[in-house]
Chains A and B, each alone.
Chain A
Amino acid sequence: MRKQFVETVSKIIEEDESAVLLLGDIGVYGFRDVLTRYPERSYNIGILEQSTISLSAGLSMVGLTPIVHTIAPFIVERSLEQIKVDLCYQNLGVNLVSIGGSYDYAGLGCTHHCPADVSILNEIPNMQIIVPGHPKEFDQLFSQNYNNNSPSYYRLSESSNNKSYKTEFGKNIVLQEMGDVVVIAVGPMLSKVLEAIKDLNITLIYCTTVKPFDFSSIESLLNKKILIIEPYYNGPVLTNILRENNSLIGNFTSIGVPNKFINKYGTKDDIDQMIGLDSASIRKQIIEKMSE
């Protein structure tokens, strides 16, 4: 996937005068030609991830399309507040592309692991999360969407599926439909899942956009048992499904702060009322639950 990332982004830098590449001293050898040919729009910016995110926001604010790349824990966990405030709160078209998802750098230990990347970013309003499972899919998804004016995270991994599919941003693919059990495989988990279910009657859905999640692809399957197989800390896909339809949790109903920026002021009570966390709204929800 790393090689495809270099090819895809090199082509974009060559063709699109608004594209700017910022490397956090990672992938520099791979991009040596671009760094030499387009020095005004490609930088090995240094090992200062927080400022790199803020700087990318500044580039976007004057009409450029930044592509920021380094290893997953450094881009996501170290720079989290910059991602929240500068990219997502301001809602800017900056692309973050990480390498080394989860424990890809197994030999380097936990400082270089980042299985939390997707669940952390899933909690930040406005962020789009793309998990390609094959180099060709990265090329399709990135080329379609890198200039869509939204903060976006592309999770690259060392492992890829054996085969690529024609992927589209925000769309799941139903690969097969049979039996009473549904498996949703995210990104590079697909090949392993295919091997695991080869003699089983299973409905299989392939997901490469975790957020916004393609809820419509599973709407007709909600009466079946559903397993979600994710290559990072489990949870984001289920969270996004439940945020779309809270009644799916059976006996449980989850109520809290909605996943969007609360861009109103006033008092805490004003906000509680606005989002339904005041006593009257909570009571209404409880009575509805009692009458189900």
Chain B
Amino acid sequence: MCRTKINKIKIKILKAAYAGGEGHIGSSFSVTDILYVLYNSSVKISSELINSNDRDYVILSKGHASLAHAAILEDKKIITTEQLMSFCSHDSILGGHLDKNKVPGIEASTGSLGHGISLSVGMAMGVKIKKRSNKIFCVVGDGECNEGTFWEAMLLGAHHNIDNLYCIIDYNRSNDRALKLDSLEDKLKAFGWDVINIDGHSHVEITNAILSNRSNKPKAIIAHTIKGSGIKMMENNHEWHHKVPSFDELKIMIEELS
């Protein structure tokens, strides 16, 4: 049931990328399950709640996976199908990286890697200062774990006991070819975070990781994923990091997901 639903969302992502002639599909497909679970079983957010102080916050720090985020917002009826399909056109509200001042439901304008997690630490500290109980879910890519600011944020999160912050690492191994993150779990634990490893495509494992109240530490969830998950020609294939399918490729991909 969920897999069918995810595949339908992925088909919309492909169509939006094809229509817009732009997009990071591989990165979007590795994170689709994570975002879907966040918006459907874990996070307090809906079209009615998007401006409420009671909502939880989702920050997609790997902003280039904007297609996945936009497709989930469309699925939740926060944006329209027409808006999704206008992806990257001149007057669209949706670009290759989403603008918080244009897109309802987008909390932060991300795109340059390594900003979102530090910003999320600030939001998490801020809601505590305001004595609110919101949770902050920040989705980062493994590539941006190269950034110094990611590790600055790990220091800050642990030092200030930011237990309302969840850092979900979409570990699709896209960066292994550049700078490997060997023993990421050990590194994060050494920084003082509560760390678990999960299958980032298993909705049960994602849900359990988010709902379990394990400690008063900030939580890191290393979600092992496959870049381009669901499309054989795309899976773990760097060629598809930033590439739009041709019409024929689109047909093959839609058939595979149908």
A interface residue numbers (CB < 8 A to B) = 20, 40-41, 45-46, 48, 50-52, 54-64, 81-82, 85-86, 89-91, 263-267, 270, 274
B108 cross-chain contacts in A, Cβ below 8 A: 57, 61, 86, 90
B152 touches A263 (CB 8 A): no
B119 touches A55 (CB 8 A): yes
A51 touches B109 (CB 8 A): no
A54 touches B126 (CB 8 A): no
Contact of A90 with B122 at beta-carbon distance under 8 Å, contacts A41-B129, A45-B156 already known = no
Bound CA–CA A46/B118 (angstroms)? 13
B123 touches A85 (CB 8 A): no
- Across the interface, name the chain B residue whose C-beta is closest to A89: B109
Bound CA–CA A264/B121 (angstroms)? 29
Listed stretches B98-106, B183-191, B225-233, B241-249; interface member: B98-106
A56 cross-chain contacts in B, Cβ below 8 A: 122
B175 cross-chain contacts in A, Cβ below 8 A: none
B90 touches A51 (CB 8 A): no
Contact of A86 with B92 at beta-carbon distance under 8 Å, contacts A50-B152, A61-B126, A62-B126 already known = no
Starting from the known contacts A46-B156, A64-B130, A265-B90, 5 additional A-B residue pairs (CB-CB under 8 Å) come to A48-B156, A55-B156, A59-B125, A61-B122, A263-B102
CB distance from B124 to the nearest CB of A (A): 7
28 CB < 8 A contacts A-B: A46-B155, A48-B155, A48-B156, A50-B152, A51-B121, A51-B156, A54-B119, A56-B122, A57-B122, A58-B118, A59-B125, A62-B123, A62-B127, A62-B134, A63-B126, A82-B115, A85-B112, A86-B108, A86-B115, A89-B109, A91-B101, A263-B101, A264-B91, A265-B90, A265-B94, A266-B88, A266-B90, A267-B90
* Binary flags per residue of B110-138, CB closer than 8 Å to A gives 1, else 0: 01100110111111111101101010000
Contact of A58 with B130 at beta-carbon distance under 8 Å, contacts A91-B101, A266-B88 already known = no
Which residue among B91, B94, B102, B149 has the maximum number of chain A CB atoms within 10 Å of its CB?
Answer: B149
